[in-house]
Structure 1
Amino acid sequence: MESESSSLKEQLYQLEEKLLKSEIRTSPEELSLLLKDDFFEFGSSGRIWTKSNCIGEEGIGAVNMILSDFDMHQLSEDTVLTTYRIFDEVKAEHTLRSSIWKYANGRWQMFFHQGTKTKEPF
């Protein structure tokens, strides 16, 4: 069970990292595969985003962010909460992040995401 858990943690870490890559963030097709149709986000800006209102013709825009302190919390057999920290190198901002991933139709997709700004460097 532990190796399954660590394998799943690595898989979800890679999916979170993928969502930070410019080639993914600027591809509506790639984003559509990673985000569930009913995806929503509470952004660090205070805005609420849905899949339909956040993906434009150029995707969601390139960023330069560093992910750290990644952890995974199994909520059910097909639902996982991931938590981590982000440092946005362009804005020089730190945020705490959480995502809920759901497994369906043979793949993991993000259902929910939240970013919370923090003044403290980690």
Structure 2
Amino acid sequence: MGEPTFSLQVGSSANGVPVLTFHGYYSQQGGEAVEAQVAAALDRGQKNVILDLTKCTIINSPGIAKLMDVVMKVVDDFRGKLVLVGLDNSKKQFLTMTGVLPLATAVSTLAEAERAMSG
């Protein structure tokens, strides 16, 4: 059986913040794809990122580890902001227990994420 599938679309919000929209299974492979796109944004001088996980079906432990790497890079290394969109209650609880959410901000919609970036 192969690696569970995912897709990642890259766009930007109305105010120019990178928006990464993740679909499917967030494993280490998916986390590495997100990490590469965030690194590219940081290299362009964009220190704030929106990660839309509305269509993310599940996040496994290696995926959480990669997500924590991304959060630490954005928030600690670059003094930026990472906003997570569309988390269900179980993902919110898991990300809180693992320490991701105290560092990142969780909101329900992309519009809320854009407001969080301007505030």
Q: Same fold (TM over 0.5)?
A: no
Which of the pair is proportionally richer in helix?
2
State the TM-score, normalizing by the size of structure 2: 0.23
Which of the pair is proportionally richer in strand?
1
